[in-house]
């Protein structure tokens, strides 16, 4: 039997991130534990049951998962599926009375994201988005600097997140990240890191967006973006130049201010974030396990009945900009957000 002060979590979608980051994170976490699984792959069930001591009654498929409503072992679900399933699974979990932790990007667009927020509010369950970096101390230092402005007004932010991959993919058998119907493309996958970082580093919401898409491997990237460049304009005249890509390695976040600059590079990795400033400060205040920290923060919000650090509304704010990025990339026009 589990302690009453630990949130029982069911992982939905036992793929790469659930297997290699979230399950280990749940083993390290103090305020939550892995209690159940939801999977469409029967062969994974015995492996996960044995490794994590999951009883038969806490194993679900996508078809029978609404029965989770009656399961007192599980208070929260963590949705770690392809992006197109985030919204429908969130609605089902909320209607089953479970708190929802959902991976980024929150949804396919802002309307879906808002429907998720509304469903969770209606069912009085929490909704939080898996922006692990917002729980991470180097990132939190940048958030504080956006407030305190130690180098004066922030004039320009640069946020680049991408990697080169998929050269070996068979165009007839593409993974979901290259398929439009599943929410594929660099913007949804890595671009939301650039976008979210531009927002927390500037401390402001963008008022306008201009975007440009570049596909150098068109046979691989059909109907999805390989590289996206986007510029955010803020009300005080500051701008954020952002880039994201499945074709280029990049991982830098930088703020240029009136009286200096600072940057985190890399800023988006699971560990090893490194910060430096124009006056020679270095910082690298890692945590032992980002996802354990994130899930402990989110579990405590449930246990204490307090607002989560990264609520669904934060995801909707990003999705509104993502919608504008895709719209602008279609015709090059500037979009008011």
Site residues, ligand NDP (CB under 6 A)? 13-18, 39-41, 44, 80-83, 85, 103-104, 130, 132, 176, 189
Strands 99-102 and 127-129: what pairing?
Answer: parallel
Q: So which residues are the catalytic ones?
A: 104, 193
Which CB, 17 or 163, lies closer to ligand NDP?
17
Q: Is 64 helix (H, G, I), strand (E, B) or coil?
A: coil
Which CB, 176 or 261, lies closer to ligand NDP?
176
| Dist CA 276 CA 241 (whole Å) | 19
Q: Measured in whole angstroms, how far is the alpha carbon of residue 200 from the centre of its chain?
A: 14
With CB atoms as reference, the residue minimizing the distance to ligand NDP is: 15
- Cα distances (angstroms) measured from residue 118 to each of 135, 136, 238, 282, 305: 24, 28, 32, 42, 18
Per-position b or e across 234-245, b if 16+ CB within 10 A of its CB: beeebbbbbbbb
* Sign for the pseudo-dihedral over CA of 139, 141, 147, 151: negative
Q: Measured in whole angstroms, how far is the alpha carbon of residue 301 from the centre of its chain?
A: 18
Residue 10: CB minimum distance to ligand NDP, A? 12
Residue 37: CB minimum distance to ligand NDP, A? 7
Residue 41: CB minimum distance to ligand NDP, A? 3
Residue 134: CB minimum distance to ligand NDP, A? 11
């Amino acid at each position: 039997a589990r302690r009453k002060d630990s949130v029982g979590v069911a992982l939905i979608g036992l793929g790469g991130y659930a297997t290699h980051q979230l399950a280990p994170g749940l083993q390290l976490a103090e305020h939550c534990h892995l209690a159940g699984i939801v999977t469409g792959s029967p062969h994974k069930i015995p492996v996960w049951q044995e490794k994590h001591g999951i009883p038969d009654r806490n194993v679900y498929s996508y078809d029978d998962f609404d029965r989770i409503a009656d399961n007192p072992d599980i208070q929260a679900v963590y949705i770690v599926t392809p992006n197109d399933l985030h919204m429908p699974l969130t609605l089902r979990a909320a209607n089953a009375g479970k708190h929802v932790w959902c991976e980024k990007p929150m949804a396919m667009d802002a309307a879906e994201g808002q429907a998720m927020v509304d469903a969770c509010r209606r069912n009085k369950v929490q909704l939080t988005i898996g922006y692990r970096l917002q729980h991470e101390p180097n990132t939190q230092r940048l958030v504080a600097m956006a407030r305190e402005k130690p180098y004066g007004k922030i004039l320009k932010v640069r946020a680049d997140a991408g990697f080169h991959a998929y050269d070996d993919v068979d165009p007839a058998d593409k993974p979901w990240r290259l398929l439009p119907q599943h929410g594929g493309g660099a913007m949804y996958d890595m671009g939301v890191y650039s976008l979210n970082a531009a927002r927390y580093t500037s401390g402001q919401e963008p008022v306008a967006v201009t975007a440009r898409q570049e596909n150098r491997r068109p046979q691989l990237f059909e109907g999805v973006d390989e590289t996206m460049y986007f510029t955010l304009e803020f009300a005080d005249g500051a701008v954020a130049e952002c880039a994201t890509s499945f074709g280029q390695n990049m991982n830098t976040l930088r703020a240029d201010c009136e009286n200096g600059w600072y940057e985190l590079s890399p800023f988006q990795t699971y560990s090893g974030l490194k910060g430096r400033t124009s006056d020679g400060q270095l910082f690298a205040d890692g945590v032992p396990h980002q996802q354990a920290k994130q899930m402990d923060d989110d579990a405590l919000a449930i246990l204490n009945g307090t607002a989560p650090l990264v609520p669904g509304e934060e995801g909707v704010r990003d999705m509104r900009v993502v919608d504008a990025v895709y719209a602008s990339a279609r015709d090059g026009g500037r979009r008011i957000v």
